[in-house]
Amino acid sequence: MRRLDAIVVGAGVTGSATARALGERGAETVLFEQYVVGHRRGSSHGATRMFRLAYPEPDHVRLARRALESWRGLESAAGEELLVTTGGLYTGGWAEVCGAALATCGVSREWLPAAEAEERFPGVALDGLERVLFQADGGVCLADRAVAAQVRLARAAGVEVREAAEVTRFAIDDRGIAVTSGEETVHAPVAVIAAGPWAGDLLFELGIDLALRPAFAQVTYFDPRAPGTPMPPCLVEAELGPGVAAGGYWVPGVAGARLKAGLGTPGRAVHPSLAPFDVDPEREALDAAWIARRLPAFEPAPVESETCVYTMTPDEDFVLERVGPVVVASACSGHGFSFGPLLGEILAALAAGDDPAIPAERFSTRRPALAASRRPAR
């Protein structure tokens, strides 16, 4: 059996970032991906994702600020722009709490009267709102390109990337963990499970019971009414509550991508192996109605829609922890992409036994919010 320093399962934004970080630490690493890099069945595909510093909790604001540095580091290593800064607008009760968290962390922000914001960002309509929060560091991650760049850099750092290589078996022993895919079994002191919506099942096999809920998600793309229409900043319209309730969010079109909108709230529970899922016309209609109201400079007729899978935790927070020879890397609930490059550094540190400098209790597998939803014992 071949002995390695580390194994990573899953080449989405989290696993590819971790493999890159491990390779750059000099760890002999194999990255297993059951499909091909960039496939459309999990959580990381598509042209764009929103990046923001605006979070209701100071812990996340601080983490997002670190993530911004990691994105810039990835860009300089990859030699390409991967996070385009557009600024972000945040509205509703949720934005009030984000404003307070940004203030606590000393992050620059502006409260704009709605009328002033409409003047500053022509084409945006903010009727029914008194004021909106503007934060200048908001932006757009170039999703497909970022995953491809991380895999390229991982390979350049000596990581072996196995595509179409589903991991089907694990065996833990006193020296670590053996991982089998097809005819190949490799062993290492540690395996990072970054399997996105498939993680719940894999971790259950490893005795780590986290009822992660894979859920349907969808975005819809829209075109401006007229050529030369200015692209707005990112926008999130939300009230406090589970998921991004109330309106939704849009991600402006940059680097050749179209503007897209989505409901932040997760859809029905799904099994990711049945992806890709059909477009939900009701969600598409809700997005179109919201765009018609909030972005009159754009054609409300959907150009196309794209489906994807969220992995939800009951408290919508990440699970980042080493449990014996296993590093749990579940970071989604609809907002994990923007932390991608930083998560790689954090997870590589956990794999190496170093301090990842994160609020450990917050991201722990043993936190109360995760206890309530344990699966029935077999």
User: Which of 107, 219, 270, 328 lies at the binding interface for ligand FAD (CB under 6 A)?
Assistant: 219
Q: By CB under 6 A, tell whether 43 contacts ligand FAD.
A: yes
**Is 310 a binder of ligand FAD (CB under 6 A)?**
yes
The stretch near ligand FAD (CB under 6 A) out of 203-211, 326-334, 346-354, 366-374 is 326-334
Cα–Cα distance, 139 to 137 (Å, whole number)? 6
Among 29, 44, 220, 305, binds ligand FAD (CB under 6 A): 44
- Tokens of residue 196, six digits: 């996105």
DSSP 241-285: SSSS-SSEEEE---TTPPEEEE-SS--SB--GGGPSPPP-HHHHH
Least Å from the CB of residue 122 to ligand FAD: 24
Closest-CA residue to 240 (of 108, 98, 132) = 98
Asked if 224 touches ligand FAD (CB under 6 A), the answer is no
Q: How many CB atoms lie within 10 A of CB 121?
A: 22
Cβ proximity to ligand FAD: between 131 and 363 the closer is 363
Q: Which of residues 167-206 bind ligand FAD (CB under 6 A)?
A: 167, 194-198, 202
C-alpha distances (whole Å) from 158 to each of 25, 70, 360 are: 10, 20, 30
Question: Given the rule CB under 6 A, which of 3-11, 69-77, 124-132, 354-362 is the region that contacts ligand FAD?
Answer: 3-11
Pairing of strands 191-193, 184-188: unpaired
Answer for which of 4, 6, 21, 34 binds ligand FAD (CB under 6 A) is 34
Q: Which of 20, 22, 47, 49 binds ligand FAD (CB under 6 A)?
A: 49
Amino acid letter, residue 237: E
Q: How far apart are CA 247 and CA 209, in angstroms?
A: 33
CB of 177 to ligand FAD, least distance (A): 14
How far, in Å, CA of 187 to CA of 254, rounded?
42
Q: Which residue is associated with the tokens 């096999």?
A: 205
Does 336 participate in binding ligand FAD (rule CB under 6 A)?
Answer: yes
Interacting residues toward ligand FAD by CB under 6 A: 9-15, 32-35, 42-44, 49-50, 166-167, 194-198, 202, 217, 219, 251, 262, 308-310, 331-332, 334-338
